[in-house]
Amino acid sequence: MAMMWAALLMSAIVCTSSQYIYSKDRCASNGEKMLQIRDLLIKQIRIQESVDSLGRMVKRLEEDVTKTHEDVRIVRKELHIYKDCKDLYINGNTVSGVYEIYPFGNNSKVSVFCDMMTEGGGWTAIQKRISGSVGFNRKWADYKKGFGDLKDSYWIGEYFFNQLFNK
């Protein structure tokens, strides 16, 4: 940028001191062009400063979002509000069993069976058939809302299944 300013300054000096070489009209024309170039350079500098400022703002916002996500994770952990079985597993719950999760926010408590052993753990079981004590020959309404015993045999429910896996 400094090189451009130097070139403009030199051009102005040549035009004013070398009137023997250039005609006055040509010097005036060059002067107008230099003023236009100067104005464009000033605009370019201001635009670049704005872009730099926006870049810094975006970076601060990204940092704020990351910090907020971390704060939410800490609060959820302290309140034992986990969004799914994987969240439970990551936070130290490594025993398979029935847990309460909050997949849709703090007011959405749902009991589910979490498999913490299979392939790294943290799996939400959508169906489980252990003893055969629960019949699965049912009407659509039962499949929609869910049925069975979480500790034995159950179907999680179509509504919950769709909500859980389409979030």
pLDDT per residue as tens, the chain (167 positions): 544 544 544 454 455 544 445 555 565 666 778 888 888 888 988 899 988 899 999 999 999 888 887 877 777 677 778 888 998 998 888 999 999 888 877 677 888 899 999 999 999 888 888 887 888 899 999 999 889 888 888 898 888 877 776 65
Query: What's the CA gap between 148 and 167, in Å, rounded?
Result: 25
DSSP E strand stretches across 21-138: 97-101, 110-115, 123-125, 127-128
pTM attached to this predicted model: 0.54
Confidence at residue 18, expressed as pLDDT on a 0 to 100 scale: 47
Distance CA 131, CA 145 (A): 21
Exposure pattern of 29-68 as b/e (b: 16+ CB <10 Å)? eeeeebeeeeeeeeeeeeeeeeeeeeeeeeeeeeeeeeee
- Return the bridge partners of 124, or none: 114
* pLDDT at res. 162: 77
**Burial category of 120 from C-beta neighbours within 10 Å (exposed 0-12, middle 13-18, buried 19 and up):** exposed
124, 114 contact by CB (below 8 A): yes
Q: For residue 139, what are the contacts with CB-CB under 8 A and spacing of at least 6?
A: none
- CA dist., res. 81 & res. 79, Å (int): 5
Could you give the CA distance from residue 159 to residue 104 in angstroms, rounded to a whole number?
13
Q: Is 87 strand, coil or helix?
A: helix
- Looking at residue 83, its amino acid is K
